[in-house]
Amino acid sequence: MASRRNFAASIGGWSAQHRKTAVFGWLLFVVLAVVIGNMAGSQEITKVDQGVGESRRAAQIIDEAGIKEPAGEMVLVRSDTLPALDARFRAAVDDVINRVNAVQIKGNKGPATEHMRSPYETEGGLSADKHSALIQFDMAGEEDKAVDNIQPVLDAVAEARKAHPDVAIEQFGDASGDKWFEDTIAKDFTRAEWTAVPLALGILLVAFGAVVAALLPVALALTAFVAAGGLLALSSHLMPVGDNAQSVMLLIGLAVGVDYCMFYLRREREERAKGRDPETALRIAAATSGRSVLISGITVMVAMAGLLLSGISEFKSMASATILVVLTAVLGSLTVLPAILSMLGDRVDLGKIPGLAKMRRPTEGSKIWGKILGVVLNRPRATTVLAGGLLVALTIPMFAMKTSELPIDKELPTSLSIVQTYQHIEKAFPGGPAPAQIVVKAQNPDDPKLAAAFDDLRREAVASGRMHEPIEVERQGTTNVFKVSVPLAGSGNDSTSDKALSTLRDKIIPNTLGKLDGVDAPVTGNTAGSKDFNDKLADARLPIFAFVLGFAFLLMLVSFRSIAIAVTAIVLNLLSVGAAYGVMTLVFQHGYGDFLVGTDAPGAVVSWIPMFLFVILFGLSMDYHVFVVSRIREAYDKGMDTKSAVSHGIRTTAGVVTSAATIMVAVFAVFGTLSMQSMKQFGVGLAVAVLLDATIIRGLLLPAVMSLLGDHNWYLPRWLNWLPQMDHGDEAVDVPAPAARPVPAYAGANGYASPSHEPAHPGTTGYDEGVSRSRRIPQPPVG
């Protein structure tokens, strides 16, 4: 079946011929996306959207009742020497209460706090050892505005702390925690995000040795990110966005945007270095690297689409953000990039930096990789065993991976004051910072049987030994909704707390509130939310894996017309993901080398990380795989035998793959320096996987496996011969003229969709008068 000009080549050709239209069209698209996105505004994920299972049902009850939950705050007063009943201790407690009660909302709009509970008037307000007291109150007004009013309260508590140096006074709560995160973690994220940009630019300067060539990929990636941000605001009205969406979008957008531009730019410059005229060089780049960009982008988007099956709002938010930024980066690479390259021509080399690597590299490829490949291709079995064995060894720890939602004292460094305060409260009042909460909706809230059921619940909860006082029952205004606060044994995220939650849900509530007609009593809170999230994630794991692997296989099959290539791609990418999981388990669960990323191992991997990393890594790994295998197939289609084509493809792509991987590893490693444990694990997992993928997988294992398979690499069942042939452009691609390659007896008969096996015509590179031999030789008939 004759090949046709591929879609990427057609788009690139049009853009090169309509340069101004393409460039100004792109700029108009970016501006309109931003303006319309800002006008539409962004719809953020609500508490109801965030929940799953019972936790979501509890949030829905509160939302439907119109209950506005205030931000709760706690002030811990403690002393190692003074008992809580000492006059000086009580004076400190009273001073804190008086100072906090006196705080007004800006503009004298009333008190900043409400529902003050003195520890001396609240059951369980004093610790078991009577050396700590817990003052509890709520911020006035809606929870999302509490952070704006918390600073005067923090100042009042700080003044009380200075006035009473004989006791320790510490504050922790919803609003103070949010403010701390805004002031510290948000700045941490911003620093990391914008450290990544100059870091990528610096690596590009070294890789290309010219200012213009280095600026182009970064400029394209950033404009794609900006445009995608506007599109995300629009799409948020259909699928609300979470707090992490923008950070993930920049991280992935910068990585793929730079990669796609590098692939395209490097191929165009390479063809120019061979002596091609600018138009021909650009046409070849569009047909080859442009096609690789398109396939790679579709693969990343398909992989990320798998998260839409999770049913978890945060996952769906990050999936939509990633899909949009990758789609925008692909669109820019196929349209505005060829137009700009056509405009610039050889001026893309402007601003050459003496001493740095030149963009016009030798056409024969990397000499270092050439030497490595010489060993690999001469000893493919040994290489496969050694490289594959190393990856399998790194994967083994994955099978003992423990996943968990981390409490704040594991999520953040223990040296931080907010973590120390949390630990002090948890030690003095187990379950105090994050008790379980039963949201009770009753048809008849004044029913005496309901009051009796609350008493029974309190008694059975304490008698179980897994819950303790203070168990508080509070009716929400005049509604038919009650909130029951139940402190659980344990830290909130350990097996003790999990057992306590199970006892509460499966035994105590069914034996008390569950016996009443018309009563719904779902349990929420940190422990319950974590349990529900993990259960939902476990249910979604198999569908997501099946979706991602299935579509990736089909995409590779259609793209390369080969069963073996598709299977090899899946297996190799699974190996890189598994190895990354294993390294994460060693570092963050067992503590090997945790000091290298500035942390103490929390003993577990954050529960959402493995699934999220799987879809991202599987998509990103295909970046390099598609690019490298496309070059190998291209050389094979021009007349090379498989072993020579593998060598040629690896060597000629080694430089750009190394540069692109270096940028990805550096960008992801920056996120590994953040304070939050989840971001450390996210960054380290991505960085390790990309590093392994660009070196061991693409440099050693892929060529070794393809060398062992030989012509079996290109096996395609005869009933799939309808798949379109690959198009490599309208000009020859310089490859060394091979010796005559014999036609296997099975070629064209038993399903091997192989191109012509004639020797290259003397004095040519496998093409005659600009027409591919593989297109002149009739392909096996369908069926």
Tell me if 660 sits within 8 A of 262, measured CB to CB. Answer: yes
Could you give the CA distance from residue 278 to residue 647 in angstroms, rounded to a whole number?
A: 27
**Per-residue pLDDT tens over the stretch 470-501:** 888 988 888 899 999 998 887 777 788 889 99
The two three-digit tokens of residue 510, written as one number: 């069914």
Could you give the CA distance from residue 705 to residue 618 in angstroms, rounded to a whole number?
A: 19
The residues, ordered by sequence, that sit 6+ positions from 98 with a Cβ below 8 Å of its Cβ are none
**Per-residue pLDDT tens over the stretch 392-417:** 999 999 999 988 878 787 888 888 88
* pLDDT for the residue 360: 46
Query: Within 10 A of 668 (CB to CB), how many other CB atoms are there?
Result: 25
* pLDDT for the residue 552: 87
Task: Give just the sign of the alpha carbon dihedral 535, 539, 545, 548.
Answer: negative
**Per-residue pLDDT tens over the stretch 411-449:** 888 888 888 898 898 888 876 667 889 999 998 888 899
Could you give the CA distance from residue 572 to residue 390 in angstroms, rounded to a whole number?
A: 13
Q: Which has the higher per-residue pLDDT, 325 or 195?
A: 325
Could you give the CA distance from residue 250 to residue 264 in angstroms, rounded to a whole number?
A: 21
* pLDDT for the residue 431: 65
The two three-digit tokens of residue 13, written as one number: 């050709």
The two three-digit tokens of residue 649, written as one number: 């493809």
Tell me if 638 sits within 8 A of 754, measured CB to CB. Answer: no
Could you give the CA distance from residue 43 to residue 56 in angstroms, rounded to a whole number?
A: 19
Per-residue pLDDT band for 365 (boundaries 50, 70, 90) equals: low
- Residue 664 DSSP SS3: helix
Surface-to-core class of residue 528, CB atoms within 10 Å of its CB (0-12 exposed, 13-18 middle, 19+ buried): buried
Pairing type for strands 519-520 and 72-78 reads unpaired
**Per-residue pLDDT tens over the stretch 730-770:** 444 454 544 444 444 334 444 444 443 333 333 333 333 33
Judge whether residue 116 has pLDDT over 70: yes
- Residue 715 DSSP SS3: strand
* pLDDT for the residue 103: 92
Tell me if 308 sits within 8 A of 319, measured CB to CB. Answer: yes
Torsions phi, psi of 631, nearest 5? -70, -35
Per-residue pLDDT band for 366 (boundaries 50, 70, 90) equals: low
Cis status of the peptide bond prior to 83, with omega within 30 of 0:
no
- Residue 241 DSSP SS3: strand
> In terms of Cα–Cα distance, which of 557, 725, 731, 706 is closest to 644?
706
* pLDDT for the residue 694: 86
Could you give the CA distance from residue 651 to residue 604 in angstroms, rounded to a whole number?
A: 40
For residues 387-413, b (16+ Cβ closer than 10 Å) or e, as one string? Answer: bbebbeebbebbeebebbbbbbbbbbe
Side chain identity at 120, as an amino acid letter? Y
Percent pLDDT > 90 in the chain is: 32
Pairing type for strands 767-768 and 605-606 reads unpaired
* pLDDT for the residue 743: 43
DSSP H or E segment with residue 484: strand 481-486
The two three-digit tokens of residue 771, written as one number: 């027409």
pTM over 0.75: yes
**Per-residue pLDDT tens over the stretch 31-64:** 999 999 999 888 888 878 888 889 999 989 988 8
The residues, ordered by sequence, that sit 6+ positions from 364 with a Cβ below 8 Å of its Cβ are 370, 651, 652
Q: In 509-525, where does DSSP find H-type helix?
A: 509-511
Mean pLDDT for 504-515 is: 92
**Per-residue pLDDT tens over the stretch 253-291:** 888 888 888 888 888 888 887 888 888 888 888 888 888
Per-residue pLDDT band for 356 (boundaries 50, 70, 90) equals: low
* pLDDT for the residue 745: 39
Could you give the CA distance from residue 9 to residue 5 in angstroms, rounded to a whole number?
A: 6
* pLDDT for the residue 639: 84
Mean pLDDT for 441-458 is: 91
Could you give the CA distance from residue 463 to residue 765 in angstroms, rounded to a whole number?
A: 85
DSSP state of 653: H
Q: Which residues pair with 139 in a beta bridge?
A: 113
Query: What's the chain's average pLDDT?
Result: 83
DSSP H or E segment with residue 768: strand 767-768
Tell me if 13 sits within 8 A of 736, measured CB to CB. Answer: no
Judge whether residue 579 has pLDDT over 90: yes
Judge whether residue 678 has pLDDT over 90: no
Low-confidence winner among 360-374, 501-515, 617-631 (lowest mean pLDDT): 360-374
Tell me if 404 sits within 8 A of 607, measured CB to CB. Answer: yes
* pLDDT for the residue 355: 64
* pLDDT for the residue 757: 39
* pLDDT for the residue 460: 93
> In terms of Cα–Cα distance, which of 361, 289, 364 is closest to 623?
289
Per-residue pLDDT band for 353 (boundaries 50, 70, 90) equals: confident
Tokens 């950070």 belong to residue: 247
- Residue 606 DSSP SS3: strand
**Per-residue pLDDT tens over the stretch 692-710:** 988 899 889 999 999 999 8
* pLDDT for the residue 91: 95
* pLDDT for the residue 744: 43
Per-residue pLDDT band for 663 (boundaries 50, 70, 90) equals: confident
**Per-residue pLDDT tens over the stretch 144-180:** 778 888 999 999 999 999 999 999 999 998 898 888 8
* pLDDT for the residue 107: 67
